[in-house]
Structure 1
Amino acid sequence: MTSETTTLPSSEQIRRAPKVLLHDHLDGGLRPGTVVDLARETGYDGLPESDPDKLGIWFREAADSGSLERYLETFAHTCAVMQTRDALMRVAAECAEDLAADGVVYAEIRYAPEQHLEKGLSLEEVVEAVNEGFREGERRARANGHRIRVGALLTAMRHAARALEIAELANRYRDTGVVGFDIAGAEAGYPPTRHLDAFEYLKRENNHFTIHAGEAFGLPSIWQALQWCGADRLGHGVRIIDDIEVDDDGAVTLGRLASYVRDKRIPLEMCPTSNLQTGAASSYAEHPIGLLRRLQFRLTVNTDNRLMSGTSMSREFEHLVKTFRYTLDDMQWFTVNAMKSAFIPFDERLAMINDVIKPGYAELRAEWLFRQAGTTPGTSRGSDAV
């Protein structure tokens, strides 16, 4: 076995490694069993399957179908069962639990409050229910020996006209669990410039926001998100690859927008599996993350929609390790990038990096060294002890 092979992290190491998640949708990460339970409790009879295992398969197959209508239908089902306070609390708590069990130590979870008003909740009641659910999930995770901190991103739908209202809501709850703002939905026909009033308001309030851009529409969406709106991060941003040329000899030339994104260290919220489903990349091997990593863009690894993609942070990293031969050092690089880019105060980000992330990876490396020496931490083999 080569040294390269032995330095690749195992699935168990990947799961245990501390991870940071910046791009994950609350309504895209429910447990199939929870969808079934909530449908029964709320009287929703529109599910295509009533068996949790079969329903989970249906969600993944619908997302993989290549049909936009079927893909959007998946969210219609999850949102339909997330219309009460109890349901929102349960989904949020289980989200935090599931991420913590997967080794995620910090997460920013986004959702659109305007999509959870069908049974009479107010926008404020939606936010408070989700926040309470996240806190309960953090408590359950601690009780199970896991550590996680979850912040909420409030999302406005780009085809609607409530962006300023949701931005103001995010600002009101910024000290009680909400860490920023986002817009989501179809890029084509709904440019971020439609919501300039919301972004100008957030900038005046010194608040943080990310924008879904450069997933389906391309460079104009990225340019507008940055130059017109002033986004702190780019949701996906995968189409920045369209501004990078690689000639037959392998020489790389960055266009001005790509150079700007790299030079300004603008974080890109990459979601590899989701990008394959939406056609933004044809395979993991062809995903732009490989080239962008070599070019030292500020990249982060994310899940987007764990239910629809049948994924987790560990699975995303497993794909990247297998495809690009990434090591624990690479995983730490992505994770530190994400923590640097989080929407919490600098000193808190630094503490997470120095007190949680770096020690966690150092422990995994030490375990690998012990295994190569034929012993385990805490045992002695005479002169072989480290």
Structure 2
Amino acid sequence: MVTPVRFETIRSAPKVLLHDHLDGGLRPQTVIDLAAAAGYSELPHTDARELADWFRRSADSGSLERYLETFSHTVGVMQNRDALVRVAAECAEDLAADGVVYAEVRYAPELFQEGGLSIDEVVRAVQDGFREGERRAETAGNRIRIGTLLCAMRQNARASEIAELAVGYRDSEVVGFDIAGPEAGFPPTRNLDAFEYLRRQNAHFTIHAGEAFGLPSIWEAIQHCGAERLGHGVRIVDDIEVGEDGTARLGRLASYVRDRRIPLELCPSSNLQTGAAASLAEHPIGLLARLRFRVTVNTDNRLMSHCSMSSEFAALHETFGYGWDDLRWFTVNAMKSAFLGFDERLAVIEDVIKPGYARLMR
């Protein structure tokens, strides 16, 4: 008998997450604890429930710029080694408890140096935290592997430095590179030297593109910079015309993205907060999945969006009627698109994902 699709059963399904920000996924109580330990006095609330509500309300503005402002508090309390280790360990634990078996978690090392840490000390602290979190998760019966993406802030001038850092730590579970921050006024080509270096080094990278800005951002990320994946990429829908009868006509860029199987790191709840759609029912994920783009489902910032992979899947089930076949498809898409070796990806798909969904579907 097929297991009913609901939040509780979705939590037991193996899931893969490619787009999750470390500084966007803190536990509210951890923010409060770290603020007290560091003497950080800027928090709007010191009650965990009230603070969680504040983050969600502030992120619901419909503006990417306002959304990004909420990070001043999480980043503000993550300025020493102990804080970074704790946040990374809890991130791994929380994702594993939600049924995530593989995750790529990203952060910008340059944001965590205000307390005097060197850039290498930041990376080592986060990696130590992830390994500790993996150990705790396994002890609790939840196995997970965390790969790290190092981000450069696109409005700054440190992309080449961070790209070299990513290459330097790629044998220590740093699996790739990204640029993040405001898209408008800061096109991907501002960091072209970094992407050319990564390609020469056979290193992996994704690019935040097509979230708050449109098709030019996506085009530059792919055609000039060589992005392997698109961070969000939701605005690719602007290159698709849908007729009154529901038939879709793809423009040249949309066709290229679909034909080349370039993964879209879609983050439904976050996309609603930043104005990509007025409601989940109107979110482009429905169309893009129907047209068989390489769609993946992600959380982006679990604290700000008050979400998890299970809640995102549950919301998609309620809105679009997606069943286990669809949720498995999203999960396999993500694992195919992970920045791991082919054998490692295939092993997770065949040994973990497919058997996990088979148990739910029989």
TM-score interval (norm. to shorter): over 0.9
Question: Which one of the candidate residues 14, 17, 36 is aligned to 1:18?
Answer: 14
Q: Aligned residue for 2:254?
A: 258
Q: Whole-Å Cα distance in 2 between the matches of residues 300 and 179 of structure 1?
A: 18
Contact (CA 8 Å) 2:107, 2:151: kept in 1 or not? Answer: yes
- 3-state DSSP class of the match of 1:338? helix
Q: Whole-Å Cα distance in 1 between the matches of residues 134 and 206 of structure 2?
A: 24
User: Cα gap change, 1:75/1:328 in structure 2, threshold over 3 Å: closer, same or farther?
Assistant: same
Moved more, 285-294 or 66-75: 66-75
The Cα of 1:92 is off from its aligned counterpart by: 0.2
Q: Aligned residue for 2:177?
A: 181
Q: Aligned residue for 1:51?
A: 47
Q: Matches of residues 141-290 of structure 1 in structure 2 within 5 Å?
A: 141-290=137-286
User: Cα gap change, 1:8/1:264 in structure 2, threshold over 3 Å: closer, same or farther?
Assistant: farther
The Cα of 1:165 is off from its aligned counterpart by: 0.1
- 3-state DSSP class of the match of 1:343? coil
- 3-state DSSP class of the match of 1:308? coil
Runs of 4+ in 1 over 2 A off after TM superposition: 65-73
The one-character-per-residue Cα deviations of 1:100-137 (angstroms, maximum 9, x if unpaired) are 00000000000000000001000100000000000000
Note the residue ranges of structure 2 that are not aligned, 5 or more in a row.
Answer: none
**How well do the aligned residues superpose, as a CA RMSD in angstroms?**
1.2
Q: Aligned residue for 2:80?
A: 84
User: Cα gap change, 1:361/1:67 in structure 2, threshold over 3 Å: closer, same or farther?
Assistant: closer
Normalising to structure 2: TM-score of the pair?
0.98
- 3-state DSSP class of the match of 1:153? strand
The one-character-per-residue Cα deviations of 1:29-67 (angstroms, maximum 9, x if unpaired) are 000000000000011011010111110111001101346
- 3-state DSSP class of the match of 2:172? coil
Letter in 2 for 1:293: A
Normalising to structure 1: TM-score of the pair?
0.92
Q: Whole-Å Cα distance in 2 between the matches of residues 66 and 222 of structure 1?
A: 21
Contact (CA 8 Å) 1:107, 1:151: kept in 2 or not? Answer: yes
Letter in 1 for 2:327: M
The Cα of 1:99 is off from its aligned counterpart by: 0.3
Number of residues paired by the alignment?
362
Q: Whole-Å Cα distance in 2 between the matches of residues 354 and 139 of structure 1?
A: 23
Q: Whole-Å Cα distance in 2 between the matches of residues 289 and 59 of structure 1?
A: 25
Letter in 2 for 1:130: V
- 3-state DSSP class of the match of 2:282? coil
Contact (CA 8 Å) 1:29, 1:305: kept in 2 or not? Answer: yes
User: Greater Rg, structure 1 or structure 2?
Assistant: 1
The Cα of 1:147 is off from its aligned counterpart by: 0.9
Higher relative contact order (CA 8 A, sep 6+): 2
Q: Matches of residues 106-121 of structure 1 in structure 2 within 5 Å?
A: 106-121=102-117
The Cα of 1:8 is off from its aligned counterpart by: 5.3
Note the residue ranges of structure 1 that are not aligned, 5 or more in a row.
Answer: 367-386
The one-character-per-residue Cα deviations of 1:188-221 (angstroms, maximum 9, x if unpaired) are 1000000000000000000000000001111000
Letter in 2 for 1:352: V
- 3-state DSSP class of the match of 2:231? strand
Contact (CA 8 Å) 1:8, 1:328: kept in 2 or not? Answer: no
